[in-house]
Chains A and B, each alone.
Chain A
Amino acid sequence: MTNTDRLVATFASSLNIEASQVVDGLEYNTIPQWDSVAHMVLVAALEKEFDVMLDMDDIIEMSSVGIAKEILTKHDVVF
């Protein structure tokens, strides 16, 4: 499984959406399933999956799937 596969699977299971919906352009708060409550579930799941600790700025900035990749890249996850 590539890191992109793991990212997509984590998004899909945390937000309870189809993997096909998880594209770079998917944005926070544009679908009912990705609201502030789900965001915290997602953050916890990403931290666990990639063994990283995201800080406050990371989770506030993480407003799309694409940006989530950039933030994880900053934490040495390679996509």
Chain B
Amino acid sequence: MSDWKSLEVFGLAKEDKQAWLLDELNRLTLHHQASCQPYANLLAGQGQQAGVAESLDAVPLVAARLFKMLRLSSTQPEDVFKTLTSSGTTSQVKSQIVLDRDTAALQSKVLVSLLSSFTGKARRPMLIIDHDGLTSNREGFSARGAGVQGLSFFGRDHTYALNADMTPNWQAIDDFIAKYSSEPVLIFGFTFMVWQHFIQPLKASGRIDQLSQALMFHSGGWKKLQDRAVSNDTFKTTVRQVLGKDVAIHNFYGMVEQIGSVFVECEQGHLHAPSYADVIIRDQETLEVKKIGKSGLIQVLSFIPKSYPGHSILTEDLGRLLGEDDCPCGRKGRYFEVLGRLPKTEVRGCSDVF
């Protein structure tokens, strides 16, 4: 099987992808069965035989909430390099994701390969819509900290736009604008924070059209914006009104359970599965696989997780499969949209809570 690096990021059509990814996932299932007892028990309990899935939708899945209930690790304690936690609110139990060096390195490498297909290889001056206290605890990052840290590889002269109390750090923002207003820059933040703590204050203070060559990545859930009746279209229109009309804006969908393989929004507004990952939509009651056009629970597949059994996860998010291999943007693979969180689960905003 070819190495992931030789794959074009969005270049694998259905048959080729199935061949490559299925082989990787079957190998991971076997590895985790041998290395993680609770996972092996889970497979046995489901009557599943590891490593023999004949199609992507037959790969055994683990419910995301299981990572909150159990510390699922396929890593020897002495090889644990970092433990990531979902931020969660105080009333919630946090997910724990155990990383070894290889898995952590692979996460960074895959993320770079994926996002640089949008940004190019040059690192841009980067404005982070957050405060700089996020990544100060080295032992373990919150999901938000890990997100900021992962994305910081794409930037240089990293500038944090907010103070710890989420007010704009005007000094930092104005300095950044003064230095880079006519250059391609990168802006990253969590969706709600970009909207509430950056775009709104910029607009209110009359700082308009100051970063017209920006590319913005944002992530982290729409719930709080839906509550304010802000759609993705409204979000993009407003961001362009404020920053500049040609600003490129890419939402992406990803989770702490599968860092590295994210699903990035294309120019058409569709979230795309890269060659290294995939998405399956399942009926929320029966878990039956849904066809294109239908909505249901989102299952995510990724070849990255080796240190914990997270290569096939059933999320608590609802989505709709929009198509496969035929998006007008030209990218191969499945594309979909996220509709929100499954209503009866506890609200698990991974990053838009603070």
Contacts and interface: CB of A to CB of B under 8 A. Distances in A.
Interface in B73-110: 81, 101, 104-105, 108-109
Interface string A46-64: 0100000111110110010
B123 A36 contact: no
Given A29-B104, A40-B152, A56-B121, A35 B138 contact: yes
Nearest to A38: B138
Given A56-B153, A57-B121, A59-B153, A37 B101 contact: no
Contact of B149 (A37, A55, A57): A37
Contact of A32 (B122, B138, B153, B154): B138
B116 interface: yes
Given A40-B158, A56-B112, A57-B121, A29 B153 contact: no
B169 interface: no
A14 to B, nearest CB: 14
Among A29, A30, A36, residue most surrounded by chain B Cβ atoms (within 10 Å)? A36
Among A29, A40, A53, A56, residue most surrounded by chain B Cβ atoms (within 10 Å)? A56
Contacts of A63: 105
B135 interface: yes
Contact of B135 (A30, A32, A37): A37
A78 interface: no
A19 interface: no
A40 B153 contact: yes
B138 A29 contact: no
A55 B152 contact: no
Contacts, number: 46
A23 interface: no
A55 B108 contact: no
Nearest to A28: B105
A77 interface: no
A47 B158 CA distance: 14
Given A29-B101, A37-B135, A54 B112 contact: no
Interface in B140-166: 149-150, 152-154, 156-158
Interface residues of A, number: 18
A17 interface: no
Among A32, A37, A43, A57, residue most surrounded by chain B Cβ atoms (within 10 Å)? A37
B148 to A, nearest CB: 10
B123 A56 contact: yes
B112 A60 contact: yes
B121 A60 contact: no
Nearest to A36: B149
Nearest to A59: B153
Nearest to B101: A29
B153 A60 contact: yes
Contacts of B104: 29, 36
Contact of B108 (A30, A32, A60): A60
Interface string A2-42: 00000000000000000000000000011010011100100
Contacts of A47: 156
B123 A37 contact: no
A62 to B, nearest CB: 11
Contact of A37 (B112, B122, B138, B157): B138
Contacts of B123: 53-56, 59
Given A29-B105, A59-B153, 17 more contacts: A29-B104, A36-B104, A36-B108, A36-B150, A36-B152, A40-B152, A40-B153, A43-B156, A44-B156, A53-B156, A55-B121, A55-B123, A56-B154, A57-B121, A60-B108, A60-B109, A60-B112
Query: 9 shortest A-B CB distances, which residue pairs?
Result: A55-B121, A56-B121, A29-B101, A56-B116, A60-B112, A40-B152, A37-B135, A36-B149, A56-B112
17 contacts: A29-B81, A29-B104, A32-B138, A35-B138, A36-B152, A40-B152, A43-B156, A44-B157, A53-B123, A53-B156, A56-B112, A56-B122, A57-B112, A60-B108, A60-B109, A60-B112, A60-B153
Interface of A: 29-30, 32, 35-37, 40, 43-44, 47, 53-57, 59-60, 63
